[in-house]
Chains A and B, each alone.
Chain A
Amino acid sequence: MMQTISLPPNTAKPGWLAIVGMPLGLAAIMTPAVLLAAGGSGQGFDSVVHGIESRYHAHATRIPFMGLMSGIAGIATHGGVHNLHVATFEHFRGDGDNQVDGAELLSLVEQHAGGGWSRMIRETSRGGEEQTLIYVRPEGKQVGMMVVDLDHNELDVVEISMNPSQLMKQAREHSHHHHDADNSDSEHDNDSDSD
């Protein structure tokens, strides 16, 4: 059985612009809201930085061209280091222009970092004016590392992905070249002395 829908005599058929335009417009309005919500509830570097920004009413300075630098670091280390993210907070203060409460900062970072990150090192000074937190997480064959470093009125958040075996290889090659250069220098010095 076939059903037919009859339009009232004065109703014009909706044009293609109305059919396509409405969902597009809705999507355009919704996308920023969805992205903002995702950024706020996500985990890791961005979530930690956003969490600190909103709790301490501070604004993080993102290092310009960090994507480019990250790429260069990846090429220079043959994939040993990549995915570099850095955010810096200058003139960073706690409530009422007081020192930041170290325990509160720790709990804020842990809350926003998410379950994948495990704290490896915490270094603190009395009064909480200095604090370093180092987190790691497995990323397949690589290791993700996140560092939150508070030094009096400056706070830095750094995230990096590393390939341990590649880094070790690079470090070994570098020290080998350095060793060779030192040896050739000392041989050269010996030759000069004998002259």
Chain B
Amino acid sequence: MKQSRVWVFAIAVAMAGATAVRAQDQLPAPSPIEKTLAARATHVTEVTLDKTMLAFASKFMDGKGEDGKEDKDEQAVKQMIQGLQGVYVREYEFDKDHSYSAEELDGLRKYFENSSWSPMVRERTKGEAKGTDVYVKLVDNKMQGLFVLDAEPKELSLVLILGPVDIEALGKLGGNFGIPKDAMKKAQKEATK
């Protein structure tokens, strides 16, 4: 009887551990700020890709360039996509300049201001709410996640990539899955400094 209780306890601990690990890799639920931004925006694009969908998306990449020959960059992007846990993109377009406040941007950043995420880029324009923030998640000195918040006068983009990130392939990821090209190139430039 005692032995079976030990087994039940062990299984419960293992399941709880597995759930915690899984929760860390899962894409976050949208924050209330995102809901208010979406209500104000004229156009909203939401892209949510979990591991399964990324695996399928990678099938549409054959690692070849436009000339049909093997392309190392394309192969690196394909390999990176296959290893990712999730991609989460939100793009809000507004009809008026600065339709979001500095407090709202702070609220969006707050999610990543914890021990596992470190700020890598912080670009601000004096007197304006616009700017770019890049946060990275480092595990054993390896990049295991990337968050980009790019605020333009009429546009706000959030990109969250979970899983091992290859800096070399990062720039090429822009333009795919709704990920803004400029934001990815900016993040790649800063990361390779």
Contact B48 A143 (CB under 8 A): no
Contact partner of A138 (CB less than 8 A), chosen from B38, B44, B56, is B56
Which of A57-65, A91-99, A163-171 interfaces with chain B? A163-171
Give A142 to B41 CA distance when docked, in angstroms. 36
In the assembled complex, B5 has its CB within 8 A of some CB on chain A: no
Contact A164 B60 (CB under 8 A): yes
Contact partner of A122 (CB less than 8 A), chosen from B40, B46, B68, is B46
In the assembled complex, A181 has its CB within 8 A of some CB on chain B: no
Contact with B along A123-142 (1 / 0, CB 8 A): 11110000000001010000
Contact partner of B62 (CB less than 8 A), chosen from A118, A124, A172, is A172
Contact A138 B52 (CB under 8 A): yes
Interface residue range, chain B:
20 to 34
In the assembled complex, B126 has its CB within 8 A of some CB on chain A: no
Contact A165 B59 (CB under 8 A): yes
- Inter-chain contacts of A164 with B (CB < 8 A): 56, 59-60
Contact B47 A124 (CB under 8 A): no
A-B contacts at CB below 8 angstroms, number: 54
- Inter-chain contacts of A136 with B (CB < 8 A): 53, 56
Among A120, A164, A169, A172, which residue has the most Cβ atoms of chain B within 10 A?
A120
In the assembled complex, A34 has its CB within 8 A of some CB on chain B: no
Contact A120 B43 (CB under 8 A): no
Q: How far is the CB of A139 from chain B (nearest CB, A)?
A: 10
- Inter-chain contacts of A124 with B (CB < 8 A): 38, 43-44
Chain B binding surface, main DSSP class: mixed
Give A124 to B40 CA distance when docked, in angstroms. 12
A121 and B56 in contact, given A172-B64, A175-B66, A176-B68 (Cβ under 8 angstroms)? no
Chain A contributes a number of interface residues (CB within 8 A of B) equal to 21
Contact B60 A167 (CB under 8 A): yes
Give A123 to B48 CA distance when docked, in angstroms. 12
Contact B42 A143 (CB under 8 A): no
Give A179 to B48 CA distance when docked, in angstroms. 34
Contact A123 B53 (CB under 8 A): no
Interface residues of A in 157-190 (CB under 8 A from B): 164-165, 167-169, 172, 175-176, 179
- Inter-chain contacts of A175 with B (CB < 8 A): 66, 68
- Inter-chain contacts of A168 with B (CB < 8 A): 59-62
Contact B42 A126 (CB under 8 A): yes
In the assembled complex, B77 has its CB within 8 A of some CB on chain A: no
In the assembled complex, B140 has its CB within 8 A of some CB on chain A: no
Give A184 to B127 CA distance when docked, in angstroms. 57
Contact partner of A126 (CB less than 8 A), chosen from B41, B56, B59, B68, is B41
Interface residues of B in 3-20 (CB under 8 A from A): none
Interface residues of A in 68-124 (CB under 8 A from B): 118-124
Contact A123 B59 (CB under 8 A): no
- Inter-chain contacts of B61 with A (CB < 8 A): 168
Interface residues of B in 117-133 (CB under 8 A from A): none
Contact A123 B43 (CB under 8 A): yes
Contact partner of A120 (CB less than 8 A), chosen from B42, B47, B59, is B47
Give A118 to B45 CA distance when docked, in angstroms. 16
Give A191 to B61 CA distance when docked, in angstroms. 38
